[in-house]
Structure 1
Amino acid sequence: MSRYEPPIQINPKILNLVAEISELLGRYAERERRAHSLRLRRANQIRTIHGSLAIEGNSLSVDQITAVLEGKPVIAPPREVQEVKNALAAYDSFHIYQPEKESDLLAAHQLLMRGLTDESGRYRSGGVDVMSGKEVIHMAPPANQVPRLMYDLFNWLQHTEHHPLVASAIFHYEFEFIHPFADGNGRMGRLWQSLILAKWNPLFANLPIESLVHANQLDYYQAIANSTAQTNSAPFVEFMLGVISQTLRQQILNEEQENDQDVEQRLESQLELRLESNLAAKVLLFIRDQALSKSELAALLGHKSISGELNKQVKALLEKQWIQMTIPDKPTSRQQKYELTPQGKELLQQLSQ
């Protein structure tokens, strides 16, 4: 008897996205090694949970989910708080699940839907429709077919030769088509795709893909509908690979910005030690790229007027020849601005290394 093979037509767009994601993963891996990994991973996990639950209608914000994680009281519907607690527990157990084991899927569902449905941890006993508002957009297979369909799907996953990026998205689509549970199918499908990807590359364990799925929720459901109408999971695979690519690009950008902020803070601290004044350090950094007047410096410092301390530090920097006037022969000119001297530029360059 031949194994079930989900219908998909691999096209150039899918192949290009796989290559693009592979390249982005290399860049992301290098940045994550230099990042504050534990803090970033926790933040990304919270964003993942927020995105996945928000798609299903949960109204808790990122701050509220963080409060639940920290054991703080949250004013919200009890069911939604329970959904968050369950999701946190499920993602904490992420590392023990094996994506090719059907028993692990059932165990994860039991944890994810604990106290939310009478059928947590087991396949549905009745029919289920996928709704968009009041419209039925998909009628799932009969309940008595679910065990066989899920067995076939896991058997395919264990033997498929598709690239994990493609296989994970195919599994996600097939899972949503079968809709094996009475409730929690969306969050379980997204969780299991992340698990398949994390087994291939551990970076995916903490990549907040669900945040972008939530931001493109209508496109997510449309991709499912398109794949069903075409009997071809390619539209959904394209959508999910596009989301993964976008997520990686955003994470790389965020970490580059955070790294730039860290570098700036370290430079400011070193300048403060050297100049024995935080205000003087800020002045040097403000005029690093352009000449500024005292009024402009005061505004950047958040001051309403030129303070005596600002006058004092500008004078000290002039005396130490770290800065110079742009109009030196007219010290009191209204057009007077201040810029770095060659010595000032050299100082910043030395401390930046």
Structure 2
Amino acid sequence: MHYAPPFTLNKQILSRVANISEQLGRLTATQDRAQSLLLRKVNRVRTIQGSLAIEGNQLTEDQITAILEGKRVIAPAREVQEASNALNVYEQLDSFAYQKESSLLQAHKTLMLGLIDSAGQYRNTGVGVIKNQQVIHMAPPADRVPKLMGELFTWLANSDDHPLIKSCVFHYEFEFIHPFADGNGRMGRLWQTLILKQYHEVFTYLPVESLIATHQTEYYQAIADSTKAADSAPFIVFMLSMIEQALQQLHHTSESVETGVSPQVAPQVTPQVKMLIRVMKVAGETEQAQTSFNRTDLQQLLGLKDKKSFNQRYLQPALINGLIEMTIPEKPTSRLQQYRLTALGKSIQVG
């Protein structure tokens, strides 16, 4: 009997699967090719920026777009290499078979080319997941990695579970095993995308990673909760919630692209968020051309004193919808944290 990863299907999971399926059914089946390609390009950049930001890369969407277009970017060489590699691996997504280990190893080789010596090879040393200078997970010994990965891929190839659930389970189990010396987070998220791509083409360019980047604490907590329970259900719930939100954003963005209506009509762009975007744009057009702001700056620009209200009604909705981004995404609560408009935020017309 083949190994099967432990997970429990609860009401919350089943409800989210049903809701996601309904959202997929509402997506426009046909779309102007030029508009579709533009939407895919924008979301691909958001996906890569989000996934890299989770790992500490501070390149912006604009910088990654410049790299995609072959332009020179002034930034740390390693961060530029990480972005270039990620663009290459996502470009090759159609060439990878989600159920084959050989494809996983080839994708890792492309993703980590020039970054580590063991690109495309499983690790031969012990590793741990460190967050805020604390070890939050010690991965299985290196000599167990080939067997564990072999079992995981056998299950993946033979499982009859719903692709949404199967992709989340694989993602969690992959992070638990942590098979590579580096690049595990990026690879886990990439492979979930690849699995989901077989279910619906929209997942090829759904920017789930940009949402995870703004929910890093919850992301790592879901992994920790699943490890503690020896059941990936907490992680499944978290990832399905990210997919739900990403689909909601895509639905409204698609409507805007198709109809030619500016994205500000989307329900998520509340009057409060519009005001936040407006003051950031105005500040960026001054002689000083300030483009990033700390929390105090933004509250002063808006004339707000209530920190809780600002966070709930202005800051968090803008972050969740990918309209602004953190300058230090790997440390959301850093006292040096600042916020800047994303390419999507800059495109919003606020009058």
Partners of 1:64 and 1:172 lie apart in 2 by 28
CA distance 1:203–1:41, shift in 2 (3 Å): same
CA distance 1:174–1:75, shift in 2 (3 Å): same
Partners of 1:96 and 1:202 lie apart in 2 by 14
Residue aligning to 1:173? 172
Shift of 1:261: 3.6
Shift of 1:255: 2.3
Partners of 1:60 and 1:52 lie apart in 2 by 11
Determine if contact 1:31/1:255 at 8 Å carries over to the other structure: no
**Aligned: 1:88 with 2:87:** yes
Partners of 2:28 and 2:230 lie apart in 1 by 36
Q: Which amino acid aligns with 1:252?
A: H
Residue aligning to 1:47? 46
Residue aligning to 2:205? 206
Q: TM-score, normalising length from structure 2? A: 0.73
Shift of 1:256: 2.3
Shift of 1:28: 1.9
SS at match of 1:30: coil
Partners of 1:189 and 1:160 lie apart in 2 by 18
Shift of 1:34: 8.1
Higher helix share: 1
Determine if contact 1:31/1:252 at 8 Å carries over to the other structure: no
Residue aligning to 1:272? none
CA distance 1:97–1:34, shift in 2 (3 Å): closer
Partners of 1:113 and 1:133 lie apart in 2 by 24
Partners of 1:167 and 1:80 lie apart in 2 by 31
Residue aligning to 1:27? 26
Determine if contact 2:106/2:120 at 8 Å carries over to the other structure: yes
Partners of 2:181 and 2:231 lie apart in 1 by 25
Partners of 2:97 and 2:180 lie apart in 1 by 19
CA distance 1:122–1:133, shift in 2 (3 Å): same
Shift of 1:215: 1.3
Gaps of 5+ in 2: 264-351
Partners of 1:209 and 1:31 lie apart in 2 by 22
Shift of 1:33: 6.0
Q: Which amino acid aligns with 1:116?
A: L
Higher RCO structure (Cα 8 Å, ≥6 apart): 2
Residue aligning to 2:119? 120
Residue aligning to 1:60? 59
Determine if contact 1:87/1:112 at 8 Å carries over to the other structure: yes
CA offsets, 1:56-97, max 9 Å, x none?
000100000011111111110000000001001000100110
Residue aligning to 1:186? 185
CA distance 1:231–1:78, shift in 2 (3 Å): same
Residue aligning to 1:10? 9
RMSD between superposed Cα atoms in Å = 1.6
Shift of 1:31: 6.7
SS at match of 2:27: helix
CA offsets, 1:212-254, max 9 Å, x none?
1111111111100000001100000000011001000111122
Residue aligning to 1:267? none
Partners of 1:47 and 1:263 lie apart in 2 by 19
**Aligned: 1:250 with 2:244:** no
Larger radius of gyration: 1
Partners of 2:204 and 2:68 lie apart in 1 by 18
SS at match of 1:138: strand
Determine if contact 1:35/1:255 at 8 Å carries over to the other structure: no
Partners of 1:38 and 1:257 lie apart in 2 by 14
Determine if contact 2:35/2:258 at 8 Å carries over to the other structure: no
Shift of 1:203: 1.3
Q: Which amino acid aligns with 1:199?
A: Q
SS at match of 2:29: helix
Partners of 1:32 and 1:23 lie apart in 2 by 19
Partners of 2:133 and 2:139 lie apart in 1 by 16
Residue aligning to 2:102? 103
Q: What fraction of aligned residue pairs are identical, expressed as a percent?
A: 56
Q: Which amino acid aligns with 1:239?
A: F
CA offsets, 1:283-340, max 9 Å, x none?
xxxxxxxxxxxxxxxxxxxxxxxxxxxxxxxxxxxxxxxxxxxxxxxxxxxxxxxxxx
Partners of 2:162 and 2:96 lie apart in 1 by 20
SS at match of 1:180: coil
Residue aligning to 2:231? 232
Runs of 4+ in 1 over 6 A off after TM superposition: none
Shift of 1:32: 4.7
Residue aligning to 2:133? 134
SS at match of 2:106: helix
Partners of 2:33 and 2:72 lie apart in 1 by 35
